[in-house]
Structure 1
Amino acid sequence: MLSRRAVTMLRSPVARVAQVQVRGVRASFDKAEEPMLGDYPDIDPFPAQLKNPYKKYDDQQDRRNLNEPLSVNDDLYDMWSPDRFTHFKNQDALKYFIGFLTLFFGGSYVATYFVPEKAAIPREFPYEGLWKESGGTEKSKDVFAQRSE
């Protein structure tokens, strides 16, 4: 019964039209012809953090001048967006990170050989862990038994 419904839904013209429409929307999307822009100029975004901090701006904190056209996604590139780190290339940062992990886990592995032994042996309790002497019953034996760990 369920498989018949699934086959019928796949064969219905509504499902095929919806599938074609989704493909059409994905294929026709273009940055230059974005319908929400209208006649607004298409400006390449540039992060404000990478602008010259010593240059004089009308808005010194956001590094913007008056009447300067903004990118459509200006909130992604202003001074309040996440910082951009340009100190290292991605490959170098990955090498440093892998090196750090190697040193950390390698040092941890070596340190396990220098862990001192326990100062005393584990305690052992008579009568199956003194569960009866601790006030337990046969059902609560696991709760009241003294552990030797």
Structure 2
Amino acid sequence: MLSRRAVTMLRSPVARVAQVQVRGIRASFDKAEEPMLGDYPDIDPMPAQLKSPYKKYDDQQDRRNRNEPLSVNDDLYDMWSPDRFTHFKNGEALKYFIGFLTLFFGGSYLATFLAPEKAAIPREFPYEGLWKESGGTEKSKDVFAQRSE
């Protein structure tokens, strides 16, 4: 399957994904040509959640007007796609997450470190845990023996 795909890509000059042009330090990428689209307009996608909720739309729930051209991958950017969180940048969110983990594990360690010892000694039973007095036999010694833990 992969070999067929590679041969097809080598045969057709249209299937070039990205061309990198290096000028000094900067690199620019050309958009990929998609022959399946034909003359459909190439629209930059705009997530519907980032559109203004106060503007009047023909379809208020999806924030879309009638006869408005859609992006090719509109199902990735409509109101039913996963939410877009723009509250924090990635570095700031990572800082908060590491802070939470530090507080959680630090508090857990502190709780185990400051936990008091047992107030009493463990119980001890005579005659190897009273297995014979509990009605056990030599085979069922482990079942009938009283445990001190």
TM-score by length of 1: 0.73
Moved more, 10-19 or 28-37: 10-19
Instruction: Report the Cα distance in structure 2 between the residues aligned to 1:80 and 1:9, rounded to whole angstroms.
Output: 34
Which structure has more strand as a fraction of its residues? 2
Moved more, 57-66 or 114-123: 114-123
Deviations 1:41-72 (A, max 9, x none): 22222110011111111111111010111112
| Change in 2 beyond 3 A, CA 1:89/1:116 | same
Unmatched tracts of structure 2, length 5 or more = none
SS in structure 2 at match of 1:37:
coil
| Change in 2 beyond 3 A, CA 1:96/1:14 | closer
SS in structure 2 at match of 1:6:
helix
SS in structure 2 at match of 1:17:
coil
Offset of residue 25 of structure 1: 30
| Change in 2 beyond 3 A, CA 1:12/1:38 | closer
Instruction: Report the Cα distance in structure 2 between the residues aligned to 1:42 and 1:9, rounded to whole angstroms.
Output: 22
| Change in 2 beyond 3 A, CA 1:9/1:26 | farther
Alignment of 1:1-149 (within 5 A): 32-149=32-149
Deviations 1:19-42 (A, max 9, x none): 999999999999643243233222
Moved more, 28-37 or 121-130: 28-37
SS in structure 1 at match of 2:22:
helix
Unmatched tracts of structure 1, length 5 or more = none
User: 8 Å contact 1:32–1:42 — kept in the other structure?
Assistant: no
Offset of residue 7 of structure 1: 22
TM-score by length of 2: 0.73
RMSD (Å) for aligned C-alpha atoms: 8.7
| Change in 2 beyond 3 A, CA 1:30/1:105 | same
User: 8 Å contact 1:125–1:148 — kept in the other structure?
Assistant: yes
Identity among equivalent positions (%) equals 93
Aligned residues: 149
SS in structure 1 at match of 2:26:
helix
Moved more, 110-119 or 42-51: 110-119
